[in-house]
Structure 1
Amino acid sequence: RREEEELQSTVIEEEEGKGGVPAPQSIERSVVEVVREDENENENDNDNDVPPAVWNVPAALPPMDVMMGSTRKHPSLPSSSPLVNFGPGPAALPPAVMKTIHRDLLDYNGTGLSVMAMSHRSPEFASIMNDAREVIRRVMEIPPNFKILFCHGGGHGQFSAVALNLCPSENDAADYVVTGTWSKRAAEEASKHCRVRKVVDTSGSGYDSLPDISTWDGPSQDAKYVYMCSNETVNGVEAFDLPDTGGVPLIVDMGSDIASKPINWSRVGA
């Protein structure tokens, strides 16, 4: 109670010192004082409890035509044609997928919960994860000796994770195929954790081509792994085949072209 009186006294003094107009700090303290008084009143009078506020949740999301297409149209396009993003990141989704997202965002599979609000440990979410793994394995024809992991961090996070996991010592060596911006960044990050050897480096030509696999200098006998990026989006260089590394684990950054073509899994990994 003494602290409350001192706080109230401070507020009054500040208000009087400025012609009755409270300073921002005074206003903040006044609000705190009011909240404290309300709490005391509620403690002494339980019959006058105020019911908790309830958020007004919209009964439905915006119409599908609003969600699926931009409202900005090119003059040459019909008014009903949505715009399509052909960028290497987020891109167009089939209408059927968008409709499923639209439905599940409010009520997933009749659970009464939004897919965004359910527990990540619930059976429903576990089912989503398991289904995703099965679909990925089937579509990409991934052999059973490979595990599918959903990881945090994106590409840059994996630049470090690969080296930290496969090179226990800073003296360990790793071979890098540097053919563009992404493999260059990967090599730079890995060099903080191990010895990086560039078996291919096309920086001299501005990363404008991918040398034939037969001309690559490697892999090294002591290399813990070979690293390459199959699609350098910044430089426009894509590898349509994977090298035979002779038993040295091959790590491939397929962040932008995964599932776009068949993968020779016998050449990936250990």
Structure 2
Amino acid sequence: MPAPITLTGRLVRLEPMREEHLGELLQAATEDRSSFGYTYVPRDAAAVRRYLDVALEDLDAHVALAFTQIDLRDGRVVGSTRFRELEYWNAGVWPPRHGRTNPSGIPDAVEIGSTWLAPRAQRTGINLEAKLLMLTHAFETWQVHRVSLKADTRNARSHRAIMELGATFEGTRRAHFPASEGGVRDSHLYSLLAPEWQAVKTRLRARLDRHHAALAPLTPLEQLAPAAPLAPLAGAEAALQAA
């Protein structure tokens, strides 16, 4: 089983979920639930208590590593995410079987999921950077063959976000998983493979760079500098502007 890790970027720090996070996780999960939609987020103190206990049990069982997401702007807890479904293929044994560990203690494949953010942290770049941190660790430190993701088929926003990561849509699994509101849901399934990682990483870094540039405050000189004169238009473009 991999040791608990902390992953730090410019916007977010992913810390192993632990007892001290309980109060702030409750605050983040309950301050405004209107944007959670089909994502499961614990809704009260008892549910957050159980959520934390399950995360620690999964760590002991070698099946998941849960993180608390910390907004580096103010140091506040804003949500959670995790490595789930750690697979140990034990490829030297035939027939190969998925186990709970292998001689290296490093997984061969993993799922990223159980992700949620408080509304104040949504659309801030935190989710994008967290995914980049986790994917980088999975592919470059663990050297996994595959990272899986899934989403409720009704969750169009999650579907778009996963596709924008560069993942491949693999299909729909029916009656796959408990739904956040009760009952059973269908899930869209996605994957990223090791040979695809470098191209995906380049795109994600470019997106983050654009996000950082958009958020960067102007320096006093930039605020005072006059705008550069527009170059004269030429040809058909000038005709269109004049029409």
Which TM-score band (shorter chain)? Answer: under 0.3
| TM-score normalised according to structure 1 size | 0.22
Point out the structure with the larger strand share. Answer: 2
Bigger relative contact order (CA 8 A; separation at least 6): 2
TM-score scaled by length of structure 2: 0.24
Q: Rg larger in 1 or in 2?
A: 1
